[in-house]
Amino acid sequence: MTTAALIHVIVSGLATGSIYALMALALVIVYNATRTLNFAQGEMLMVSAFLAWTAQRTLGVPLWGSVVVAVAGAALLGFVVERAIIRRSPGATHWDVLIITLGLSLVLRALAGLIWSHDEFPFPSFFSNRPITLGPARLAPVSLGILGASLSLMLALYFLFTRTRLGRAMRAVAQNPQAARLMGVSVERMSSAAWVLAAVVGALAGVLVAPVVFLSTKMGLIVISGFTAAVLGGFGSMPGAVAGGMLLGVLENLAPLYLPSGIRYAVPFLLLIAILTVRPAGLLGRVIARKV
């Protein structure tokens, strides 16, 4: 295996990994605000990508415009789901929300199948597929483009969470909902904001990944990789989610080179078991003792 080929594999792994990282961030944003897991996050990504595609096809909206449509649609979907379903659940424990969002993922997938069919569709990309030569390596602009766009989005999220009132309020709720409420932060409004923000991040990830994997109702399964990434980094930690996503992407791309090719599908599962056995808190997570 030459160095150039290795660089190619690693860069495309990082590109895949940055999509996983965005998915992981979406899951962590909801988790931090509500202590629940949105199992339907992947299906919300899929629906947003289909909305963008429909805007391009039937309304003739340019690619840039269709991204705006996807983001707006996702934000609306996130808002409606949180208000109309999640907030009405009587217990709203992580168990209740898990089952509800499991049901939601089935419903969204079936509806998407009825509207758009379960076929695969090509999705236009911002980036060309023709490899360019950079020093010793030949790299696909698609990989670099996905990586660049994801990193910019992560940077934007970093500023949101450290520099703005909204971001700081969301972090306060993540740390301690009761104390945040006493300081005048509306926990309910933050829950709403988290669902909308996560849906938007998912929509952007969806538009980025759709050209690579094709647009189909199966796209939602990316939620498993996103969850694995979040656990690898330490569930709840945002830098951890990014690191976990990148690591997962690279390992998934490297493993088939050295092991039987079927191993690719087992990588997330094996990594999950390995990390939870060796270091349950994740790579960047802290061990926090729970109080009764």
Partner 1 sequence: MRRAALVALIVLAVAWPRLASSYLVFLASLVLVNAIVAIGLNLLSGYTHQLSFGHAGFLAIGAYTTALLGLPCLRLEGLYLTMATLAFGFVVTEAILNLDALTHGADGLRVPAARLGPWALTTDAARYYLVVAVAALLVVAALNLARMRVGRALLAIRESEIAAQASGVPVATWKTLAFALSAFYTGVAGGLFAWLIGTLSPDAFDVFLSVDFVVMIIVGGLGSVPGSIVGAAVVTLLNDVLAGFQNYRPLIFGSVLIGCMLFMPGGIASVWRRQTAP
Nearer to partner 1, 96 or 188 (CB): 96
Two tokens at 288?
């926090």
In the complex, minimum distance from the CB of residue 118 to partner 1, in angstroms, rounded to a whole number: 8
Greatest Cα pair distance, the chain, in angstroms, is 59
| Closer to partner 1 by Cβ: residue 107 or 132 | 107
CB of 104 to partner 1, least distance (A): 6
The C-alpha atoms of residue 33 and residue 102 are separated, in whole angstroms, by 19
Residue number, 29 or 185, with CB nearest to partner 1 = 29
Cβ-based neighbour number of residue 239 at 10 Å:
13
Whose CA is closest to 25, among 282, 200, 208? 200
Give me the residues that bind partner 1 (CB under 8 A), please.
37, 85, 88-91, 94-96, 98-100, 102-111, 113-114, 224, 227-228, 231, 235, 262, 265-266, 268-269, 272-273, 276-277, 280, 290, 292
CB atoms within 10 A of CB 132: 11
Cα(254)–Cα(257) distance, integer angstroms: 6
The single-letter DSSP state of residue 133 is E
Place of tokens 């060309």: 128
Least Å from the CB of residue 262 to partner 1: 5
Residue nearer to partner 1 on the CB measure, 137 or 188: 188
DSSP bridge pairs for 138: 133
Q: How far is CA 170 from the centre of its chain?
A: 18
**Least distance from C-beta 174 to partner 1, angstroms?**
16
Q: How far is the CB of 151 from partner 1 (least distance, A)?
A: 26
Say how far apart CA 101 and CA 97 lie, in whole Å.
Answer: 6
Minimum distance between the CB of residue 259 and partner 1, rounded to whole angstroms? Answer: 12
159 or 269: whose CB is closer to partner 1? 269
Question: Which one, 76 or 107, has the nearer CB to partner 1?
Answer: 107
